[in-house]
């Protein structure tokens, strides 16, 4: 009986860790999509600036820089990268805590979140 309950408990812990990893994969896809959109916009702006410069416009580069700043492309890419890295870091902590204690990933995430006062997302 003890062996069965230990196996079931371990199975639930493993499932909780897998669920937490699944959330990170979802976050990775969201972040990658947003970064890809920013890069596409940046490439379009650079192409337009090259065309302007080829036609003799001397203000192409300053206009490009101003437009990149206005759209916040580099800021958005940095934000998405930081969010992904924070999620991955939290996964390693949540995954270990989940496997060791049997907490579900939301409980473990909330505990970690409150310990470090970094309340980005309680559920990884």
Higher pLDDT, 22 or 108: 22
Taken as a whole, the chain contains a residue count of: 124
Q: Judge whether 71 and 82 are in contact, CB under 8 Å.
A: no
Q: pTM surpassing 0.85?
A: no
pLDDT at 78: 94
Per DSSP, 120 falls in state S
Residue 111 predicted with pLDDT over 70: no
Burial 75-104 (b: 16+ CB within 10 A, else e): eebeebeebbeebeebbebbbebbbeeebb
pLDDT, one tens digit per residue, over 36-80 is: 999 999 999 999 999 999 998 888 899 999 999 999 999 999 999
Contact 111, 103 (CB under 8 A): yes
**C-beta of residue 94 within 8 angstroms of C-beta of residue 108:** yes
Look at residue 108 and tell me whether its pLDDT is greater than 70: no
pLDDT beyond 50 at 118: no
Contact 65, 47 (CB under 8 A): no
- pLDDT confidence bin for 14, thresholds 50/70/90: confident
């Amino acid at each position: 009986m003890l062996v069965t309950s230990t196996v079931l408990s371990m199975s639930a812990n493993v499932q909780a860790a897998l669920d937490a990893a699944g959330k990170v994969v979802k976050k990775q896809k969201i972040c990658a999509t947003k970064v890809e959109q920013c890069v596409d916009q940046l490439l379009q702006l650079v192409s337009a600036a090259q065309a302007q410069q080829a036609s003799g416009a001397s203000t192409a580069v300053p206009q490009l820089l101003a437009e990149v700043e206005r759209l916040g492309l580099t800021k958005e890419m940095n934000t998405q990268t930081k969010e992904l890295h924070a999620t991955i870091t939290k996964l390693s902590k949540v995954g270990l805590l989940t496997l060791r204690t049997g907490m579900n990933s939301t409980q473990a995430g909330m505990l970690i979140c409150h310990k470090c006062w970094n309340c980005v997302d309680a559920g990884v």
